Structure 1
Amino acid sequence: MKAAGAVLWRDADGDVEVAVVHRQRYDDWSLPKGKLDHGETIPACAVREIEEETGFSCVLGRHLRQVSYSVKGVPKTVDYYAAQTVSGSFVSNEEVDLLRWLPIAEASELLTYEPDRDVLAEFARLPADLLVVLLVRHAKAGKRSEWNGDDDLRPLSDAGWRQAAALRTLLPLWAPVRVHTAPRVRCVDTVRGVAEDLDVEMVEEARLSEEGYWPDPDAGLVRLLEVAADEGRAVLSSQGGVIPSVVQSLAELGGLRLEEIPCKKGSTWVLAFTRPFGTWSTSDSPSRWPTLVSAHYLASALARP
């Protein structure tokens, strides 16, 4: 059994407050969460459940952790995200009769279950307001051996277009405002729908294509940090020969330990960075650069059966 939820937070005059809900059925205080619907992804479930239980629409941030336990002998996992409120208001409903906005320490004291307190502690470990880059590997394209034209022009396959359509639904859950892409047709078409929905022009990133990255990996890495530091969240579509190296290098710079760095076609790395100090430029000391503090891998934008 799979479920998803979030630490829902808001800015209260410069301080962070989080939402804790009371479920009348269990007479407990918990973080908002709920089970996946059929054909739903885990991130989409988190957003839907938050709105159903709290009345607030939200924007997802970093993945916090997965909690596992059993319900009547059935294994259950719950994936928790950080999520910032966008709009809405609480109205008592069938599942939740009370909601309290509290500072983190007070919320932790009120929560009934230790795993919820652990999730909240992970949320509190880092700043709530982080930069986010959604680093996407292009969707499936026809086999290179079966394509006689310029490889830059190799198009998406039917399966690839299905992946691109799913990404068009998934990626907006993090509210990106910019779309960047390596200059390959398969990379461009993977995120074209996202750009169309945002009504923005895609920015080509030659240094983040395979041909542009490997002659000077440091320059490609700096370019990704520039994308991260720009105002607003970003989608960046690239290639399998680039993404693992970029993620590994960013993780090493940020002191993150990643056991492995998978990179399936149509997958997404949700990369969260600290904000740079003041006005930032690449000539500054690396200590002032955006720092990768969270990296979460989504193997597919398609819901599992």
Structure 2
Amino acid sequence: MTEAPAGLDADVLAAGAVLWRPAEGRDGAGSGADAPEVAVVHRPRYDDWSLPKGKLDPGESLPAAAVREVAEETGYRARLGARLGDTRYDVPEGRKLVRYWAAQAQPGGPGFVPNHETDELRWLRPGEAARQLTYDRDREVLDRFTEQPVPESTLLLVRHAKAGNRRSWNGDDAQRPLSGTGRAQADQLAGLLQLFGPERLHSAPPVRCTQTLAPLAEELGARITEEPLLGEEGFAQHPAAGLARVRELLDQPGVTVLCSQGGVIPDVVEKLGRESSLAEHVVDDSGVVPSRKGSTWVLGRRDGRLRFADYYRSPSA
């Protein structure tokens, strides 16, 4: 499981991405002739070739910094995908950590314009990019990217944010709304989830689930589709049908968001992981699939198999 550690143990935090686009006439599925092109940039200050990356701004999350730095150094909007891990090395300020993602270049940006940080960008096949890069640590990140094909579809599986106290709620539990803390979490989640370029929003019936996605729906101008089988009540009654519905959502091309509950998400992630030889990657040290309130699983699928499963324990991950 590639959950971000609670303590990063670094003096300098930075984030970046392997920015990719399909090679002309290809879909970016593999690592050979049909491999995607990836962006490498030249930094005149250091006279080196590297992957786009940069330091976090105050209060900024690592995923948000990765998207911002890609835009600043390449001129491209990025849609985050799989997390590619960290590199660590020493700089004058101390120990530095850089976290990387795979990120697909999106249409609509200005494109590359030379600037004082990066004066040249080259789109290269992975093998060519590896030879162009200056540092072994960047080549290691690129190797992680090429080890798995880019997904055809991604499901952002969100557990609802914190709701009001169950004991002090006298009505139908399905109508129990988010607390003040939960509403703040929902706002933060909208920021995190947008980095993955969501296209469709789905939710279990309880109000606390739909309220969790409401800020994102407003930002996107999208409607939320209710999924009766994917709340705790519906899933408990029809688990096979519920799991089949999750597979349908996961198979939709592009990026789908589903907000559900703690009685559904661990079971779904465990079963999908076991089907795709990722069972050991979706459990924590105690052998349990984590699913904190306000957390997100990012599941990528290609050719009918789950290719990655990344856990974000909080909206500020």
Normalising by structure 1, report the TM-score.
0.90
Instruction: Supply the distance in 2 between the matched residues of 1:235 and 1:44 (Cα, whole angstroms).
Output: 18
Moved more, 202-211 or 64-73: 64-73
Instruction: Supply the distance in 2 between the matched residues of 1:200 and 1:291 (Cα, whole angstroms).
Output: 28
Between the aligned residues of both structures, percent identity stands at 52
Deviation, 1:193, is 2.0
Q: Choose from 28, 47, 54 the match for 1:34.
A: 54
* 1:230-269 equivalence runs, <5 A: 230-256=252-278, 257-258=280-281, 259-260=283-284, 261-269=289-297
Structure 1 residues not aligned, in runs of 5+: 277-289
Note closer, same or farther for the CA distance 1:70–1:263 as it changes in structure 2 (3 Å cut). farther
Q: Deviations over 1:14-56 (max 9, x none)?
A: 1411001111122211100011111211111111000111111
The question of whether the paired residues in 2 share the 8 Å contact of 1:178 and 1:195 is answered with: no
Deviation, 1:237, is 0.2
Partner of 1:301: 315
| Count of aligned pairs between the two proteins | 289
* Residue 149, structure 1, aligned to residue 171, structure 2: yes
Q: Choose from 80, 83, 87 the match for 1:60.
A: 80
Q: Deviations over 1:207-264 (max 9, x none)?
A: 2111121233332222111001124311100011211111111111110122413211
Q: Choose from 137, 149, 152 the match for 1:115.
A: 137
Note closer, same or farther for the CA distance 1:130–1:81 as it changes in structure 2 (3 Å cut). farther
Structure 2 residues not aligned, in runs of 5+: 1-11, 27-33
Partner of 1:284: none
Partner of 1:12: 23
Partner of 1:208: 230
* Residue 270, structure 1, aligned to residue 298, structure 2: yes
Deviation, 1:174, is 1.1
The question of whether the paired residues in 2 share the 8 Å contact of 1:41 and 1:301 is answered with: no
Which runs of 4 or more aligned residues in structure 1 lie more than 3 Å from their structure 2 counterparts after TM superposition? none
Deviation, 1:130, is 3.1
Instruction: Supply the distance in 1 between the matched residues of 2:239 and 2:90 (Cα, whole angstroms).
Output: 46
Q: Counterpart amino acid of 1:194?
A: L
Instruction: Supply the distance in 2 between the matched residues of 1:27 and 1:231 (Cα, whole angstroms).
Output: 40
Q: Counterpart amino acid of 1:108?
A: A
> What is the aligned-residue RMSD (CA, Å)?
1.5
Moved more, 191-200 or 265-274: 191-200
Q: Counterpart amino acid of 1:74?
A: G
The question of whether the paired residues in 1 share the 8 Å contact of 2:66 and 2:100 is answered with: yes
SS at match of 2:314: coil
Q: Deviations over 1:99-157 (max 9, x none)?
A: 11101100011111112111111111122243111111100111211211111011100
Q: Deviations over 1:281-303 (max 9, x none)?
A: xxxxxxxxx32111111122137
Q: Choose from 57, 62, 65 the match for 1:45.
A: 65
Moved more, 159-168 or 253-262: 253-262
Q: Counterpart amino acid of 2:152?
A: L
Instruction: Supply the distance in 2 between the matched residues of 1:83 and 1:128 (Cα, whole angstroms).
Output: 10
Partner of 1:283: none
Instruction: Supply the distance in 2 between the matched residues of 1:220 and 1:4 (Cα, whole angstroms).
Output: 36
